[in-house]
């Protein structure tokens, strides 16, 4: 069995523009999704297009085992037609003159007419598009368009799926609903996929691994949870959306625990640093519990950090509410709406922010 690992190591330079570099590997035999995540303009789409063969890198190599898709040194450039990829561009790029059936069947060139028709039927069924076969894109909803585009990409049995912002062309409720559905579809297809997104939740839901890109380079690459929980530096922490990134100083250290002065507060964290070290800490909003300030404290919880403060703002964010706190330093807690109502939290309410020492990620 030949090596089925896609190795990408490329550089794309733009005149009077940024230089974009990326190096990563994707095992084409194992189903799994690598998310290229970062703000717009960070080079995610460029890298995806290089892999698709729609953009030519200025340097580097893209290969599956010994099969070079692109090699600048050897002047090899395999056209996109021969890379056997399923590509979903931003906005789906459905062919306006083709109905659902013709769109999905567009890339199938092998097999008899009845083979092709049955493959199309199979995908129509898989994607829940029954009854819409004769519709043109202009008569489909955004979610249906996305599924047609996915079906079209899957029809010729690609060995790699490349999805560029697969959900961003949809309105917010549809996007919400389709996120998990897309994840399940990717798992069901049993394919390797590279997904470009600037949306944090999408990255968390879709990615088995995530590569965080900023200013044309991959800043951190690893299992999604690792990257989100342990950003490698301040830039990554800012991009992956860890809500609180703050400077602190180590004021006490004992047995793998640190006591840090952050703003006017003292907090506990796990780690080993020498006394007096200046560090950055990040705390994910999901890890912060809000307690009523009257509650009996300290002994009744295992969590080590109980910091009094007050609510400064309350911002709804989907199913959750982001509660901004002033605890001697700014902190954000993500809690459910019923919780906000039950505790009647409003700006000014005195509260206790509770979080475990291991939830404080110490950077630097």
Partner 1 sequence: MDWQAVGLSVRLGLATTGVLLVIGMPIGYWLARSRRPWRPLVEALVALPLVLPPTVLGFYLLLAMGPRGPLGAVWAAATGGRLAFSFEALLLASVISSLPFAVQPFSVAFAAIDRSLLETSWTLGRSGIATFFRIVIPLSAGGILTGMVLTFAHTLGEFGVVLMVGGSIPGETRTVAIVIYDRVQALDYAGAAATALPLLLISFAVLALTYGLRGLTVAPWLTRR
In the complex, the residues that contact partner 1 under the rule CB under 8 A are 52-54, 79-87, 89-91, 93, 95-97, 106-107, 109, 136, 138, 152-153, 155-156
| Nearest CB to partner 1, comparing residues 193 and 217 | 193
| Nearest CB to partner 1, comparing residues 74 and 97 | 97
Residue 45 burial class via C-beta count within 10 angstroms: exposed 0-12, middle 13-18, buried 19 and up: buried
Our measurement of the distance from residue 197's CA atom to the centroid of its chain's CA atoms, rounded to an integer in Å, reads 6
Dump the DSSP string for 7-61.
EEEEEEE-TTS-EEEEEEEEESSS-EEEEEE--TTSSHHHHHHHHHTSS--SEEE
Q: Which residues contact 153 (CB under 8 A, 6 or more apart)?
A: 86, 87, 88, 107, 161
In angstroms, give the least distance from the CB of 173 to partner 1. 23
| Nearest CB to partner 1, comparing residues 88 and 217 | 88
In angstroms, give the least distance from the CB of 12 to partner 1. 16
Q: What is the 3-state secondary structure (H, E, C) of 137-190?
A: HHHCCHHHHHHHHHHHHHCCCCCEEEEECCCCCCCHHHHHHHHHHHHHHHHHHC
d(CA 160, CA 168): 21
Ramachandran angles phi, psi of 319, nearest 5°: -75, -20
In angstroms, give the least distance from the CB of 91 to partner 1. 7
| Nearest CB to partner 1, comparing residues 156 and 310 | 156
Cα separations in angstroms, 58 against 11, 71, 186, 248, 288: 6, 10, 31, 42, 46
In angstroms, give the least distance from the CB of 221 to partner 1. 25
In angstroms, give the least distance from the CB of 107 to partner 1. 3
| Nearest CB to partner 1, comparing residues 160 and 204 | 160
| Nearest CB to partner 1, comparing residues 150 and 362 | 150
In angstroms, give the least distance from the CB of 87 to partner 1. 4
């Amino acid at each position: 069995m030949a090596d089925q690992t896609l190795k990408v190591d490329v550089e794309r330079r733009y005149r009077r523009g940024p230089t974009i570099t990326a190096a990563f590997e994707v095992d084409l035999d194992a189903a799994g999704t690598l998310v290229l995540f970062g703000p717009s303009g960070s080079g995610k789409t460029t890298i995806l297009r290089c892999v698709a063969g729609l953009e030519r890198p200025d340097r580097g190599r893209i290969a599956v085992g010994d099969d070079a898709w692109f090699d600048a040194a050897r002047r090899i450039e395999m056209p996109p037609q021969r890379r056997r990829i399923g590509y979903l561009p931003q906005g789906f790029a459905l062919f306006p003159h083709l109905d659902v059936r013709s769109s999905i069947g567009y890339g199938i060139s092998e097999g008899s007419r009845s083979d092709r028709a049955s493959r199309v039927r199979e995908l129509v069924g898989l994607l829940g598009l029954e009854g819409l076969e004769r519709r043109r894109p202009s008569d489909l909803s955004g979610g249906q368009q996305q599924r047609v585009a996915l079906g079209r990409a899957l029809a010729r049995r690609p060995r790699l799926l490349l999805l560029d912002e697969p959900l961003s062309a949809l309105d917010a409720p549809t996007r919400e609903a389709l996120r998990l559905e897309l994840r399940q579809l990717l798992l069901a297809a049993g394919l390797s996929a590279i997904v470009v997104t600037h949306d944090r939740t999408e990255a968390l839901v879709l990615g088995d691994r995530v590569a965080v890109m900023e200013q044309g380079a991959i800043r951190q690459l690893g299992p999604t949870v690792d990257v989100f929980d342990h950003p490698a530096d301040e830039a990554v922490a800012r991009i992956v959306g860890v809500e609180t990134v703050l400077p602190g100083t180590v004021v006490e250290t004992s047995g793998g625990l640190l006591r840090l002065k952050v703003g006017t507060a003292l907090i506990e964290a796990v780690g080993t640093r020498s006394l007096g070290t200046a560090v950055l800490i990040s705390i994910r909003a999901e890890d912060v519990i809000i307690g009523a300030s009257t509650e009996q404290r300290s002994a009744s919880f295992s969590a080590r950090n109980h910091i009094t403060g007050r609510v400064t703002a309350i911002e709804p964010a989907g199913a959750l509410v982001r509660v901004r706190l002033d605890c001697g330093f700014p902190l954000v807690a993500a809690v459910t709406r019923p919780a906000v109502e039950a505790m009647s939290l409003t700006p000014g309410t005195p509260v206790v922010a509770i979080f475990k020492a291991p939830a404080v990620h110490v950077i630097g």
